[in-house]
Structure 1
Amino acid sequence: MACSAESVTEKGADLLPTLIIFDLDDCLWTPEMHELSDMPSKPIEGPLDPNNPSDSALGTIGMGVPKDNRGGWGSYSDGEEVVELYHGARLALRELVTNPLYKNVQIGVASTSLEPSYSRACIAGIEITEGVFLKDIISYDQIGRSGKLTSRKTSHFKLIHEESGVPFEDMLFFDDCNWGDHVGDLNREFGVLGIRTPSGLQINEFHEGLETFSRERRRDAVKV
């Protein structure tokens, strides 16, 4: 069923998740960090509003690997290595930043990245709206698969839950699930509602997640 920000707005902010958590590689952005030949440290400028590029403010829309640093497995021989948000992911994040409806919704990221430092460089460098970077809107981040973190995102969510105090049933998760069913795993383990984004986060998938969450919340209220 198609849904939109307006349909969610009509139902009220009380039907929104407390915490929205995104995967990074192949969900919010492309390519995956392990495909890069070195640290993405070069800001790439462009229009921040993909729907109105001619009237948009310019900002850092991606992070590139400097040409002098490229080499080895994963390097691009015929073009730049640039990490950019998927179109739908940028739209969703801009909506979260600019729509007052989401003022009480927190944002987190959970990633099993093989290169956590690369991920953090992108989070620090990529701009969402003018002067607002990914790092500015993320309240909780668990990135990598070492220490207390494993290849299962249940480990990431356990730590986010402990840090935030947000119940699992008040979380909404988006993940590409191309290399493992993290959505299903988290739902079975903790009851977290998740939406699969196999081609990178699309704006309709973002709204679908909000709609599904509000529908589940209304159903739970009826049961009570």
Structure 2
Amino acid sequence: MTPEIFRAGKQVKAEQGPTRNSEMYEMEAIPTDKDIVLGDLPGGEGVTGVMSGVDKISLHKGAMKALQNHAEGNYPGMKIAVASSADTPFAEKVGRKALSLLEVLPGVTVWQLLLRDWDGKDVNQIGRQPPLSSNKAMTHFPRLKEATGVAYDRMLFFDDCLWGDHCGMVAQSCREANGKGVVTVRTPSGLGEREWERGLKMYVKPAAKPTIERSVQVALPGAAAWMLTMQEATAAAAARRQYFPTLDDPEPAPPPQEDVSPEQVLATIGMLPNVIVFFLVAGAIREWIGSGGGFFRNEDT
């Protein structure tokens, strides 16, 4: 479960071969509060791992970075949710318990973040028992839209499933009347930093070039219109060109004076996604992060 976020798998000795990644339904037991593993987090010590028998479940580095930035308020207006195809009720329980124990900052768990974003309401769609199914495009996402009130074209979805193309199905089926839909990113090896940034770039690309009317209004496709001063509009265009030179100008932009992250660009032009959806499939990911995957990673101790 949550390959985008977690990694889970049995780690054998070097002479025996590489790490084997396990599915959540393959875990030995549902973790308990006594099964936590402490480690370093920004600001102090926190829960960085959860044991299930001999397997340790932890967050992929990319997922950890994204969630830490979110917890610290670096993505204003952005919220997170989970769509999971956990194979069995047991796998769902393992994943939910891991989410409730793993921390992104000392004292702040992933589950607390998921509830905080929605005023304490659990909007997450986890499992495949009715009314959910194995088809996320037909069940998970329509229910997620209904629960959150967020349109499909304001969602960014990371998925690591290897046995089907959930990204393709969601992108095809989950669309608004304007023809725009969920922006999807496949992460076969888990949610990594590169995949995270690629997703943000993909999300902003449809809004390539805002039109300025009467020098103050910037109309952004797929979103409400923001009223900006000419100075703000100019700054937004400059920031966009600096990071995405091909979006506005046919000629290469001059080298940037300083590093500009996708998050900074998106925040500058008011285009941060309303909802980031992490696909908690019933699987564990490899050692790392990355969209294409999940939250968890699993290692044998």
Q: Which TM-score tier does this pair reach, normalised by the shorter chain?
A: 0.7 to 0.9
Which of 25, 28, 31 is residue 2 of structure 2 equivalent to?
25
Which of 32, 39, 49 does residue 46 from structure 1 map onto?
A: 39
2: CA distance, partners of 1:117 / 1:222: 41
1:106 and 2:106 correspond: no
| Residue deviations 1:157-211 (CA, integer Å, cap 9, x gap) | 1111011110000000001121211110000001211111111100111111111
> Taking structure 1 as reference, are residues 222 and 161 closer, same or farther at Cα in structure 2, changes over 3 Å only?
closer
Find 1:157's aligned residue among 103, 128, 141: 141
What corresponds to 2:49 in structure 1? 62
What amino acid is the match of 2:198? E
| Match of residue 101 from structure 2 | 125
Rate the CA distance shift 1:128–1:223 in 2: closer, same or farther, 3 A. closer
Aligned structure 1 segments of 4 or more residues deviating by more than 6 angstroms: none
Task: Choose between structure 1 and 2: higher helix proportion.
Answer: 1
Q: Residue in 2 aligned with 1:169?
A: 153
How far apart are the structure 1 equivalents of 2:102 and 2:108? Answer: 9
Instruction: Give, in whole Å, the separation in 2 of the partners of 1:158 and 1:214.
Output: 23
| Count, aligned residues | 181
Structure 1 Cα separation of the partners of residues 126 and 197 of structure 2: 25
Structure 2 stretches of 5 or more lacking a match? 9-22, 175-180, 211-218, 223-301
**Structure 1-normalised TM-score?**
0.75
| Normalised TM-score (structure 2) | 0.57
2:187 alignment counterpart: 197
C-alpha distance in structure 1 between counterparts of 2:77 and 2:28, whole Å: 38
Quote the residue 1:34 is aligned against: 25
Post-superposition offset of 1:84: 0.8
Q: Which runs of 5+ in 1 are unaligned?
A: 1-23, 50-55, 71-79
Of structures 1 and 2, the one with the larger relative CO (CA 8 A, separation 6+) is: 2
**TM-fit CA distance, 1:144:** 0.3
Q: Which residue of 1 aligns with 2:216?
A: none
Q: Corresponding residue for 1:9? A: none
Q: RMSD between aligned alpha carbons? A: 1.9
The aligned runs of 1:63-78 (5 Å cut-off) are 63-65=50-52, 70=53
**Distance in 1 of aligned mates of 2:195 and 2:160:** 11
1:62 Cα offset (Å): 1.6
